[in-house]
Amino acid sequence: MKIDTEHPFTVAQFNALNQEDRQAILAVVDYLTGSKVDISDEALSEALNLMKPTEGCVPLEEVDDDPVAPIRRKFAAVYQPAMELAEGSDRR
């Protein structure tokens, strides 16, 4: 599977999601960047680069000295926001 697009995550895709799914995506973006981002093709693609489809576990540009670290970050980027959203929905 090879996806070679400049912006694998787009505003059109984001807007097609329901409110709950958008909230989950924004939670992952916030976790990965530590801040809110503008909703644009470029900003979403840059913030979610770790999550883009790739032949390996993570995109090569995300691998540094410790090849396991980006895999852990990718897992944590999904797990931690999911836990926070689940805890928030339990309180309602």
| pTM of this prediction exceeds 0.85 | no
Angle at 91 between CA 36 and CA 47, to 5 degrees: 20
pLDDT in tens, 36-76: 888 999 999 999 988 888 888 888 889 988 989 999 999 99
Q: Please give the share of the chain, as a percent, with pLDDT higher than 90.
A: 52
Q: In whole numbers, what is the pLDDT of the chain averaged over residues?
A: 87
Alpha helices in the chain (DSSP H): 11-16, 19-33, 41-47, 69-91
